[in-house]
Structure 1
């Protein structure tokens, strides 16, 4: 029987390319594709795939989708496929139940091999990130533990939040950091989730209080 895979990414060209590579390999059946966290959760429930290939940056938040999918009974194995090399993203994904963490620079043949291995019960972390993950896991209890929610943000997330706290729009933040407005929106979704706030105004107020103290 073929390994049933759900591919989740909000970039159509990348999503279609991954789906095509898996289908042409012969070991996989792509049972569905999704472009948002909510859609991923719904399809993971209704299609019952063996594997969910999930990007971190998407509407609704990849980590949020991971937690919702992995928390269900009989959940599929979730593989994060992302551009993020942030240690915090890797650790949060693994703690939330991801079976693997793969970087998007991987080739089609290697990706198919990784997915097949993970479907067989193995785990995987991109070699470039494995050392930092091991270091974090071997850290003495309490050492390096963030003092506040702000401290859980990556360097890029903190840079974005500082500009948002100054009242800048997503477009202005993107221009200042030389990234796309869409990318800023994705980062903001993750920032709101990490800070446990409902909107950018609450995030900005929390940031101002933190950096003023």
Structure 2
């Protein structure tokens, strides 16, 4: 039977050693990498290509930040958080970032082995004390966002407006999007009509006010 390859990332050496020993002694897992920070965890994943990664949330560099980068890589392993944090925000962020499991550090050795085995087989796990919170958060009604004229733009119109908003000329926009300059002008006419803007400067200001964190 092939052993399940695991990377354990936690900045507390004694706890990390305990988890590593528990998993290894079960005879079902091979801990192929250990890490004490987000950067070390990412390097271990890249180097070892494990089946599963256990990440502490509060380690240097942040476990959730490491999770996001690991999940963004090619053929990412399954990942689970192994943490003391019971904060709703931490749980939801981890699950949204792609964590297959959220394990609290108070779990016993036998239970940990069973949970990790289930995760490796494709199942998911959330600590029972947090499961109801997660369900409640997922089922909570989402506030409706008010529709704005910007929502009426097509994808191409939005691409053009984003570039106009950062000061690019029609010629520069045309070159970037592989369009004719006259085509960009036609799009700008439609954009101005939809936004009820008098000119491109006013349209750019509307875009900047609504998309302050996006720059083309």
Matches within 5 A, 1:75-86: 75-86=76-87
Specify the alignment match of 1:2 in structure 2.
3
Specify the alignment match of 1:29 in structure 2.
30
C-alpha distance in 2 between matches for 1:138 and 1:52:
28
Matches within 5 A, 1:48-127: 48-127=49-128
Matches within 5 A, 1:166-181: none
Specify the alignment match of 1:20 in structure 2.
21
Describe the SS at the equivalent of 1:26: coil
C-alpha distance in 2 between matches for 1:142 and 1:49:
40
C-alpha distance in 1 between matches for 2:98 and 2:74:
13
- Give the Å deviation of 1:141: 1.5
C-alpha distance in 2 between matches for 1:134 and 1:47:
34
Specify the alignment match of 1:46 in structure 2.
47
Aligned-residue CA RMSD in angstroms?
0.8
The structure number with the bigger radius of gyration is: 2
C-alpha distance in 2 between matches for 1:107 and 1:70:
27
- Runs (4 or more) in structure 1 with deviation over 6 Å come to none
Specify the alignment match of 1:11 in structure 2.
12
C-alpha distance in 1 between matches for 2:27 and 2:76:
24
Normalised TM-score (structure 2): 0.65
Normalised TM-score (structure 1): 0.66
- Give the Å deviation of 1:50: 0.3
Q: How many residues align?
A: 143
Specify the alignment match of 2:158 in structure 1.
none
Deviation digits for residues 27-68 of structure 1, max 9, x if unmatched? 000001000000100110110000001000011111110100
Q: Note the residue ranges of structure 1 that are not aligned, 5 or more in a row.
A: 144-213
Deviation digits for residues 86-115 of structure 1, max 9, x if unmatched? 011000000000000000000011001000
C-alpha distance in 2 between matches for 1:140 and 1:121:
29
- Give the Å deviation of 1:142: 2.0
C-alpha distance in 2 between matches for 1:5 and 1:132:
28
C-alpha distance in 2 between matches for 1:71 and 1:107:
31
Describe the SS at the equivalent of 2:19: helix
C-alpha distance in 1 between matches for 2:143 and 2:50:
38
* Structure 1 position 142 matched with structure 2 position 143: yes
Describe the SS at the equivalent of 2:118: helix
C-alpha distance in 2 between matches for 1:123 and 1:71:
19
